[in-house]
Chain A
């Protein structure tokens, strides 16, 4: 038995407004998460270009790096850092949903998983920073 369907010619089909992502904070934050990839990709391209300067000798590398001291480049890197931090947080929040952890038969609350991820992130970042400063010195 097939279900009775409404007359399609009499239906009204609403359209999504192009500014739908400004209608709710959660939609806006989602778009910012997606946009963060663009800034992180830009940073990586610039970083690769910076590494490429090493093939041209120390002088070329230093000259390239000195450009980053201008206010424009500093502002750009601050924006990239903000997007990278937000992207990292959303990644941890997502992984808590995707891969729920269990202790015995009980699931660990998602917030606890996010906090554990952030704690591990801080520890690893601190170790890398310490190693960097040790070898630089």
Chain B
């Protein structure tokens, strides 16, 4: 039959041509070499010792494709080692919540530190993330890393007021974290961002942070059209409660609604915020003088009482990411209506850059009567920042109206941040002029498309944040140092970063929790791992791990 002949010819043609044209194309995933195959145990290991399938939480591909792809990449690498990981993409907020909240029901997950000015100071990474005192419900030490020797070093660097001394200690801390494989940074975020230069002027990039900073938001001017800045974002806010802020999206908006004592300029230098001047009296005492005439959005005047209240009451109630700083304050002394003194428990090298700039000033008259302040969604936030909330249409958009008599004098009338569900829509919004900027950044595909558009200005900022994978050290097998070390050797981090970030980011390495952008504090001597799967297996073998004939990994005999 004609039909049959046709099918066979087609088939043969396809078969033949399937073999051709492959010379120039090479495949990335290396095939295991014979000498690399895991050794099979003499007799089949006890099935009870088999390492079960572990859950890998990551974001959905439409939210952050690199984190999703990285999870798949690591899954494949670990499969070579004999460990099965079940990749579960979910909302990024779920990943964050699950990992920070007792009873810490997670194995391994992918996260990302956004580019935030309070992270320029290494204390955020060295002390906040890994000191054992931060292992608590909603604590920053989500991996459960507890090492008394490390605590000592971390405390010392926090107290060290001499920069050289502090640097040496921070170097030591990095080496310790690398030896213990406390975390797996994957890539350091260089940020590509875009704005519509036909509409905007006065857009400033802050080192390590990017375009979304105070200077831009208050200084930007709209050249044509409505005097409203429109920002496109991939995700909506979670809540507006400054006490329990964890998501970068929330924190950004809250920084415009609430004010803090100090601020940054675009070169990451500390400048006056709500405080017009400060005076360092001694190692543990700082005096601030507030600007006169500040008001909250409901008209109440802002006084030193509000600042003192925020820090002392906040210490009892507990803050989110800023908690370590309020905990470090012994008391706040109100000298007069505009003057106050902080008395710290110990000298703290990072409190200026990560505490006084980050902790918002809460209106005492509103918060003092709240019964369960940390669980409020706070949908009518009253702050003293340069913008106040106009409305928040959940899942759609949020609008902030400018407070024209604020000392920062915002030039725009309002900011509207709009949620777009997928990258296509984000791009479309820019091209159609529905949005003036994309928050936080753009993908390589979007960049390629926008580069051709003469109205668009693309800015690249070297970021201070990074994407990373962390493991829950409270659980097996992550609690075993040998296992973590094996993992460090088993994954090709260079290739991962190249493949997943498409050449837009530098590769991370196990334990390297300070970004190389931070040239002063980055310790390259802590780079002790390289891609060596044979070594990974050797480490496991030496620790007593075994494989069965399917290549699955088993725990050592107890």
Q: Do A and B actually bind?
A: no
Residues of B within 8 A of A (CB): none
